[in-house]
Amino acid sequence: MESAATRLAGVEDNIARMCRVARRDRDEVTLIAVSKTHPPEAIVPLLETGQRVFGENRVQEAQGKWPALREAYPDIELHLIGQLQSNKAEDAVELFDVIHSLDRLSLLKALAKAMDKTGKRVPCFIQVNIGDEEQKGGCPIREVPHFITEVRDADIPVEGLMCLPPAGIEPAPFFALLHKLAEDNGLGGLSMGMSGDYETAVQLGATHVRVGTALFGPRS
Ligand SMILES: *Cc1c(COP(=O)(O)O)cnc(C)c1O
């Protein structure tokens, strides 16, 4: 099996190449290493090669793993990329530096309350249901402008838009649509692209790619 350092170098090469192709600065793209399900022993080798930005999708799992890692590597930046239940909002605000899954009014209210209570304003991406899929989380496209206003009115910093395109079909049109939606609403951040499609996402303007399998290998 390839080492974590080798896999990270490969992903970094691909991101750098796609930035050149799209005439973008490499600095415009943040690589989030998605470490969900992987134990600290798998994470430390990436920390040792200098990776500092990580993503988790469950609050409870992250609470078990990251406080200790943060003591050893204080400059870690932790992103919550998965669905968030309102009753976990305060825990999420305490632990995470960025939240990518703000998608509904009830969660907005819970996050605003948690941020007021803790005095910590956590930048959030608004997750958009970009493929209009019934079973998926995310704010409906037509409600995005109004939701952005509501988030701002609650004094939550809006970082940009996030999406998970429908599985099994070409993601590029959905990335392009999210980019347009962000532009139309004056937002600069675009969280899109995973192991299978982060290169496409970088070409289409992603500012944050969320890559797990390509860095850590398959999840069991
Ligand atoms: C797991 C996950 C990823 C990473 O997926 P890979 O295909 O392993 O790169 C990205 N985004 C979200 C929201 C995820 O849950």
Q: Which of 1.10.287.610, 1.10.3720.10, 3.20.20.10, 1.10.760.10 would CATH assign to domain 4-216?
A: 3.20.20.10
Could you report the per-residue pLDDT of 97-136, keeping only the tens digit for each?
Answer: 999 999 999 999 999 999 999 999 999 999 999 999 999 9
Cut 0.95: pTM above it: yes
Q: What are the pocket residues of ligand 1 if the criterion is a CB atom closer than 6 Å to any ligand atom?
A: 34, 36, 57, 81-82, 164, 194-196, 210-214
The domain locations on the chain are: 4-216
- Angle, in degrees to the nearest 10, between helices 105-118 and 144-153: 20
Return contacts of 153-156, CB within 8 angstroms, 24+ apart. Answer: 154/108, 154/109, 154/111, 154/112, 155/112, 155/115, 155/121, 156/102, 156/108, 156/111, 156/112, 156/115, 156/121, 156/122, 156/124
Which atom belonging to ligand 1 lies closest to the Cα atom of 216? Answer: 8
Q: Which residue's CA is the nearest one to ligand 1's atom 11?
A: 210
Which atom belonging to ligand 1 lies closest to the Cα atom of 210? Answer: 10
Instruction: Indicate the pLDDT class of residue 28, thresholds 50, 70 and 90.
Output: very high
What's the whole-number average pLDDT of the chain? 97
Could you report the per-residue pLDDT of 146-191, keeping only the tens digit for each?
Answer: 999 999 999 999 999 999 999 999 999 999 999 999 999 999 999 9
